[in-house]
Amino acid sequence: MRKGTALVTGASMGLGAILARLFAADGHNLILTARSEDKLAALAAELRTAHGVEVRVEPCDLADPAAPKQLADRLADTPIDFLVNNAGFGTQGRFVKLDRQKELDEIQVNVAALTDLTRLFLPGMVERGFGRVLNVASTAGFQPGPFMATYYATKAYVISFSEGIAEELRGTGVTVTAHCPGATRTEFAANAGIEKSRLFKLGPADATEVATHAYRAMHAGRVVAIHGLKNWLGAFSIRFSPRVVVRRLVAWINQEA
């Protein structure tokens, strides 16, 4: 496997922290970013000790539109071979009542920062003839999501954007993967306030299993990778279902029993 440097966003916990561990175990150097500097520092120390790799901590708030460029400027001396756009969060409730600024921040983190970081680091990858971009999307991206409308829409963007540029990049040595987990056991559900939703009560997947699936799909250069047969069948069946049925069903699973 080609060794390189990976920039992982949302590396302070959940899928991002596990992805960082997978890169380190394979001997890649890392740049870790998220808001929680203390958690990033603890993970960096763990990875340096366990795997002898170089790990740099670059805390930033991706809800700030200026953050991606500032981060790229700080990393100007470091070629990035693997970009993992994993940072993201969800909000739950009737859109009309949700906090306006938080909805805008959600679009900034899940969509705009992901797009900007990809635009900032892609030229170097193309120039060097090698790169892997892993965009953590979601099965939420395959249909509209009443009671999590903004979140589902952000993930639809991530899938569409990733597929679009993946096709443009064919033959360059750079691949883009949209990874689509279903409900997964991390801090995500508690932060979004959806732990008691029917969806999460069905039993979320193990985070290490999901992150490992994403990591392998990225190395293999898969364009869209859906974790788990159940999620794959769900995403596939939506294509043949009336949209009104899909909307009603998703509204039902996104609420508490």
Ligand X SMILES: NC(=O)c1ccc[n+]([C@@H]2O[C@H](COP(=O)([O-])OP(=O)(O)OC[C@H]3O[C@@H](n4cnc5c(N)ncnc54)[C@H](OP(=O)(O)O)[C@@H]3O)[C@@H](O)[C@H]2O)c1
Determine, following the binding rule CB under 6 A, whether residue 91 of this chain makes contact with ligand X: no
Alpha-carbon distance of 212 to 22, in angstroms, equals 8
Number of alpha carbons in the 13 Å side-chain half-sphere of residue 46: 14
How many other β-carbons are positioned within 10 Å of the β-carbon of residue 95? 12
Alpha-carbon distance of 73 to 110, in angstroms, equals 21
Query: Closest residue (Cβ) to ligand X?
Result: 14
Structure tokens, 39: 């958690």
| Distance set, CA 44 to CA 47, 112, 117, 228 (Å) | 5, 27, 21, 30
Contact present, 210 and 15 (Cβ < 8 Å): yes
Q: Which of 87, 217, 235, 253 binds ligand X (CB under 6 A)?
A: 87
Q: Pick the closer one to ligand X by CB: 102 or 248.
A: 102
Determine, following the binding rule CB under 6 A, whether residue 61 of this chain makes contact with ligand X: yes
Alpha-carbon distance of 63 to 65, in angstroms, equals 6
Q: Which of 4, 7, 12, 218 binds ligand X (CB under 6 A)?
A: 12
Determine, following the binding rule CB under 6 A, whether residue 35 of this chain makes contact with ligand X: yes
Q: Which of 36, 78, 115, 172 binds ligand X (CB under 6 A)?
A: 36
Determine, following the binding rule CB under 6 A, whether residue 74 of this chain makes contact with ligand X: no
Give least dist CB 65 to ligand X, A.
11
| 157 a catalytic residue | no
Q: Which of 20, 22, 31, 86 binds ligand X (CB under 6 A)?
A: 86
Catalytic residues: 151
Q: Which residues bind ligand X (CB under 6 A)?
A: 10-16, 34-36, 61-63, 86-89, 109, 136, 138, 181, 183-184, 186-188, 191, 204
